[in-house]
């Protein structure tokens, strides 16, 4: 029987940011601080790190005194490797009895001395980015329940944040909704999920089916999207998720200031309308009735006086509700979902 990876992490956390200089590569730490602030005691950085998550700066010793029980590797550099200069901090934390939690492709056991240090102190080495064994291939068979998938114009444009904000808004309106994690940060937040970028390509669709199984007819699985159909580096994962999720609804995610594909600068970002059209076309393979219900935009890079005008222009262009999920919330998109799927046309 296929099982979703269940992650049991000890809180509170100390978030390790290494020496990264771009928020794009610190999204794991940023996501945990945003959605689990009560579980974070602070951050620790190496010289040269310019990312600040706005939590206390702590040494390993002071973090332990503050109650930290796990060191979370809060960065995901390109390629998913563990930096050679991280070893000292990881070993120091493990020696103090802190569990080391990683969502990277590289196994923690490859860090020099870490296995021995953790064994001596009793600390656990937890590699979140491990796909469960014996996943099935996709079947394409219709499942009961309802599903929403967040898709994007590129990677790291807010698909996880949007999915979490949508679940929050759904629950506030009394709906049955579950966040389904497909990436390491989401799994750390939710406590379960499947890291789809670690799944053998033939089984990505099957993994998406496992993570969003048949459910009550009015229950929503809100599935965290990955990559983008327009990103040459990650489009394969995006397509597998799109087919296996069998979404009833799509929400497109976008960064208002992004103009180029993040991993392939020679490619320009698609327009929102192009993104909607291609995702709907591909999604119709497994759900001909799929529809796009809204757009979530990261407007943090815009001047405050330009934010509202930008969202209004996008609404006029697409005819869809456009929000910044962190600034505006997703209640308006959920209202539309209620209207369409739950017979509340009078709310329109």
Convert the pLDDT of each residue in 250-261 to its tens digit: 999 999 999 999
Kindly give, in sequence order, each residue whose CB lies less than 8 Å from that of residue 332, ignoring residues fewer than 6 positions away.
294, 321, 323
Contacts with 167 (C-beta within 8 Å, 6 or more apart), sequence order? 177, 178, 179, 222
User: 156 or 97, which is more confident?
Assistant: 97
Considering only CA atoms, which of 293, 220, 282, 218 is closest in space to residue 250? 293
Stretch (H or E) spanning 221: strand 220-223
pLDDT of 1 reads 43
Please determine, for residue 28, whether its predicted confidence score (pLDDT) is greater than 60.
yes
The fold for domain 5-127 equals Rossmann fold (3.40.50)
Task: Please give the Cα distance from 81 to 70 (Å, whole number).
Answer: 20
Beta carbons of 244 and 201 less than 8 angstroms apart:
no
DSSP class of 36: -
Query: Is residue 34 scored above 70 in pLDDT?
Result: yes
Q: What is the pLDDT of residue 318?
A: 96
In the chain, ranges of CATH 3.40.50.720 domains: 5-127
Tell me if 324 sits within 8 A of 296, measured CB to CB.
yes
In 3D, which of 44, 265, 227 has the Cα closest to residue 149?
227
Residue 346 pLDDT class (50, 70, 90 cuts): very low
**What pLDDT, on the 0 to 100 scale, is given for residue 91?**
97
CB atoms within 10 A of CB 319: 8
User: From CA 29, how far away is CA 128, in angstroms rounded?
Assistant: 14
Q: Where in the chain is the domain with CATH 3.40.50.300?
A: 146-347
Contact 260, 217 (CB under 8 A): no
Q: Find, among 333, 347, 323, the residue nearest to 291 by Cα.
A: 333
Share of the chain above pLDDT 90, in %: 81
Among 150, 161, 147, 167, residue whose Cα is nearest residue 325: 161
Contact call for residues 230 and 130 (beta carbons, < 8 A)? no
Is residue 339 pLDDT above 90, yes or no? Answer: yes
Q: Which CATH class is domain 146-347?
A: alpha beta
Choose the weakest-confidence range: 17-26, 31-40, 208-217, 269-278: 17-26
CB 227 within 8 A of CB 235: yes
Q: What percent of the chain has pLDDT over 70?
A: 95
Q: Is 146 a residue whose pLDDT tops 70? A: yes
Beta 192-193 vs 5-6: how paired, if at all?
Answer: antiparallel
Beta bridge partners of 127: 102
> What b/e sequence results for 294-318 when a residue is b if at least 16 CB atoms lie within 10 Å of its CB, and e otherwise?
bbbbbbeebeeeebeebbeebeeeb
Binning pLDDT at 50, 70 and 90, where does residue 5 land? low
Classify residue 28 by burial, with Cβ atoms within 10 Å: 0-12, 13-18, 19+: buried
Alpha helix (H) residue ranges in 45-140: 60-65, 87-95, 114-121
**Per-residue pLDDT band at 77 (split at 50, 70, 90):** confident
What pLDDT score does 140 carry?
96
pLDDT attached to residue 22: 85
How does residue 3 score in pLDDT terms, banded at 50, 70 and 90? low
């Amino acid at each position: 029987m296929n099982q979703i990876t269940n992650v049991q992490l000890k809180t509170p956390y100390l978030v390790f940011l290494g020496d990264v200089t771009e928020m794009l590569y610190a999204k794991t730490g940023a996501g945990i601080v945003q959605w689990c602030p009560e579980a974070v005691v602070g951050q620790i950085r190496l010289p040269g790190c310019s990312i600040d998550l706005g939590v206390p700066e702590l040494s390993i010793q002071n973090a332990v005194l503050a109650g930290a029980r796990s060191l979370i590797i809060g960065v995901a550099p390109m390629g998913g490797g563990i930096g050679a200069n991280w070893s000292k901090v990881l070993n120091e934390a493990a020696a103090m009895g802190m569990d080391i939690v990683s969502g990277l492709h590289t196994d923690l056991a490859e860090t020099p001395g870490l296995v021995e240090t953790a064994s001596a102190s009793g600390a656990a080495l937890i590699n979140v980015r491990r796909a469960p064994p014996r996943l099935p291939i996709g079947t394409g068979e219709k499942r009961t329940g309802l599903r929403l998938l967040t898709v994007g114009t590129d990677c790291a444009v807010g698909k996880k944040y949007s999915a979490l904000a949508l679940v929050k808004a759904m629950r506030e309106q009394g709906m049955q909704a579950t966040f389904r994690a497909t990436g390491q940060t989401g799994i750390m937040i939710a406590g379960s999920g499947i890291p789809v970028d670690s799944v053998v390509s033939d089984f990505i669709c099957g993994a998406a089916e496992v993570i969003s199984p048949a459910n009550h007819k009015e229950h929503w699985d809100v599935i965290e999207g990955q990559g983008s159909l327009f990103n040459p580096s990650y489009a394969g994962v995006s397509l597998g998720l799109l087919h296996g999720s069998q979404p009833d609804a799509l929400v497109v995610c976008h960064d208002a200031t992004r103009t180029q594909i993040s991993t392939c600068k020679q490619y320009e970002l698609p327009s929102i309308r192009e993104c909607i059209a291609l995702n709907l076309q591909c999604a119709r393979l497994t759900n001909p009735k799929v529809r796009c219900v809204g757009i979530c935009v990261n407007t943090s890079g815009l001047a405050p006086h330009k934010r509202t005008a930008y969202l209004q222009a996008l609404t006029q262009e697409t005819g869809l509700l456009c929000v910044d999920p962190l600034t505006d919330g997703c209640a308006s998109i959920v209202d539309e979902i209620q209207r369409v799927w739950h017979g509340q046309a009078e709310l329109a």
